[in-house]
Amino acid sequence: MGRPGFVLDVDERTPPLLMHEGEGFRLERLPLGSRVIYPPESLPGIVDLEGAIRHALLHPHGSDPLPQLLRRGMRLTIVFDDLSLPLPQMRTPDIRQRVIEQVLELAAAAGVDDVELIAANSLHRRMTPAELKRAVGERVFRAFHPDHLRNHDAEDPDDLAHLGTTPHGEDVEINRRAAESDLIVYVNITLTAMNGGSKSVAVGLASYASLRHHHNVHTLRHSRSFNDPPHSAMHQSYDRMADVIGGQVPVFTIETTLNNEPFPTALRFLTRREWEWNLTDQASYLAVKRSNDLATGKLRRRIWQATEAPYGITGVHAGAPTQVHPHTLAAVHHQQLTEVQGQADVAIFGLPYICPYNVNSIMNPILVMSLGLGYFFNLYRGKPIVRQGGVAIFYHPMPHEFHPVHHPSYIDFYELLAETTDPVMLETKYEKQFATDPWYTHLYRTSYAYHGVHPFYMWYWGAHAMQHLADVIFVGGNRSTTARLGFRAASSLADALELARDTVGANPEISYLHAPPMVLADVR
């Protein structure tokens, strides 16, 4: 059994600590007295995974067993989480494949002919055939692709159905095939507490008309944090929409949770506590770091993106979404929650090479911002790890690089930041223009581009942090891109703390969130 997470007080015995910085990492000596929030150690994965999936399907929460929901002549739609989960991509066979295969076995036994599989990519880029095959496996891919295994298209007017509005006047518009099915089976991977639950169908299969009700500055500023669903305005909106959907089409969800093994054995040192590194870990660190630093940018990216996570599955729960999700959240908390007493003046985060939107792609500056001020800042329950008016220090080189196929609207959005970085201003003045731009829509539907509005959502993702923090500093960040985003760059931690001095004084309290692996700070 893994040890629980804990908060380390940096003392004179503490060796330099590992810090991710994009497609690289370093050791950093933190000032004495700094606190370091470590995640719980990885829990063991389920050994008999096939048995666990079968058990979940046959003994669901708040629902009849899946075989009883399947019948000859029905319309069955199997929806699964897209490329953005898990991170990094897990070693094959992917858990989605394992679950979908068992669902299809039951469907075949029940004589269901009309089966459609849809990737819940929402406004994300479409998955390529190779990516789809990787997620669902060879057998499923061969049997259903391309006609019955496809990506959700949020801009296809013929394949969208407006199911009504919530009591708050929010439009609920989702994929028509799913909406008109006799049963939706949703196959989920919950990597963080924000995933799964009502979000799955209400967001994964939604259109812009529906998403704009919760993916906006106001909602995100009132989602504290969006990794704490009971205190997230965004999740409350998801819940309202899920009620509307659930009233019209039955949803049987299968949620899976992961342990904290995001890196293969050769990179084991990335997940071990530094004072416990043995000679092998130290040699691996040195060898990987030197090779990584010497590699060209392209090669480095290719290697990191090819890294497969040996994730173990800690839980499989199936049934009615509202009944299943509490079990899923409990499993996530068991693996990721670390209790922290009080907030700091300065929070430090080492940002890794990957976020949900640059799988097999480039992490552009907007995505770096969203990863740092969005995802990492919001890895808390209760209160942020840094106080209101504090400073956040991130490690990332933030190069001025964009993927022209995957992120075309990001390139234009980046230019807008020269005019303003205020999320509200950007939302009111430019969001609709980008969201309805026919060229972006064309690229989203026919190429592999993120939707035109997606960079705005990324920017809103950091709206709560921008409001909360007095200053944001990127150690090692490219000066011009950092400045364009409205932040500051520092060449070292000492310089960053010097810059922060005007805001938090000479002897600030410092907390470093030691992630990945995933940790959710439970700040009291």
Partner 1 sequence: MSGLRDDLRLLRHGRDWRGRSRVPRSAQRWEQPDNGDDFPTAWARTAAAVALRSALQQAMLKPVIWSQTRPVVHGREYLDSVRGPAVFVANHSSHLDTPLILGALPTRITRKLAVGAAADYFFDSRTVAAATTLLFNAFPVERRARRGRSLAAELVDSGWSLLLYPEGSRTVDGWLTGFKLGAAQLCSMKGIPAVPIALRGTFAAMPRGRRWPQPGRPRVSVRIGRPLRIEADETVPEFRIRLVRAVATLWAEDDLGWYGALRAAADDSLALPTGSHSALPTTASGQPAQDDDVASWRRIWEATRPPADDGPRQVWTD
Residue 339, strand partner residues? 522
Nearer residue to partner 1 within complex by CB, 454 or 514: 514
Within 90-149, the residues that bind partner 1 by CB under 8 A are none
Tell me the closest approach of the beta carbon of residue 309 to partner 1, in angstroms.
23
Nearer residue to partner 1 within complex by CB, 26 or 71: 26
Single residue of 108, 266, 286, 299 touching partner 1 by CB under 8 A: 286
Residue found by looking up tokens 């530094």 in the block: 274
Tell me the closest approach of the beta carbon of residue 32 to partner 1, in angstroms.
11
Residue found by looking up tokens 């370091």 in the block: 36
- Strand segments (E) across 351-501: 380-381, 386-395, 471-475, 488-490
Tell me the closest approach of the beta carbon of residue 420 to partner 1, in angstroms.
39
Pairing of the two strands 25-28 and 17-20: antiparallel
Single residue of 176, 268, 273, 432 touching partner 1 by CB under 8 A: 273
Tell me the closest approach of the beta carbon of residue 21 to partner 1, in angstroms.
14
Single residue of 67, 222, 267, 277 touching partner 1 by CB under 8 A: 277
Single residue of 50, 64, 293, 502 touching partner 1 by CB under 8 A: 293
Residue 9-48 contact track with partner 1, rule CB under 8 A, x = bound: xxx-xxxx---------xx-x-------------------
Enclosing H/E stretch for 285: helix 279-294
φ, ψ for residue 345 (rounded to 5)? -80, -35
Single residue of 186, 226, 263, 285 touching partner 1 by CB under 8 A: 285
Nearer residue to partner 1 within complex by CB, 3 or 400: 3
Nearer residue to partner 1 within complex by CB, 61 or 300: 300
Tell me the closest approach of the beta carbon of residue 272 to partner 1, in angstroms.
10
Q: By rule CB under 8 A, what count of residues binds partner 1?
A: 29
Nearer residue to partner 1 within complex by CB, 286 or 306: 286
Residue 120, strand partner residues? 81
342 is a contact residue toward partner 1 (CB under 8 A): no
Instruction: From 135, 33, 2, 52, select the one nearest 517 (Cα to Cα).
Output: 2
Give the tokens for residue 288.
């990987």
Nearer residue to partner 1 within complex by CB, 3 or 501: 3
282 is a contact residue toward partner 1 (CB under 8 A): yes
Q: Are 406 and 448 in contact (CB under 8 A)?
A: yes
Nearer residue to partner 1 within complex by CB, 278 or 447: 278
Residue found by looking up tokens 């499993």 in the block: 331
| Identity of residue 247 | G
Pairing of the two strands 313-319 and 251-258: antiparallel
Report the C-alpha gap between 142 and 463 in whole angstroms: 43
Instruction: From 523, 518, 508, 474, select the one nearest 30 (Cα to Cα).
Output: 508
Single residue of 94, 255, 274, 522 touching partner 1 by CB under 8 A: 274
Q: Could you write out the DSSP letters of every residue in 240-253?
A: HHHHHHHTTS-EEE
Nearer residue to partner 1 within complex by CB, 57 or 348: 348
Tell me the closest approach of the beta carbon of residue 5 to partner 1, in angstroms.
9
**HEC profile of 65-118:** CHHHHCCCCCEEEEEEECCCCCCCCECCCCHHHHHHHHHHHHHHHHCCCEEEEE
Report the C-alpha gap between 89 and 513 in whole angstroms: 22
Single residue of 1, 279, 418, 506 touching partner 1 by CB under 8 A: 279
Nearer residue to partner 1 within complex by CB, 395 or 448: 395
Q: Which residues bind partner 1 (CB under 8 A)?
A: 3-4, 6-11, 13-16, 26-27, 29, 273-280, 282, 285-286, 289-290, 293
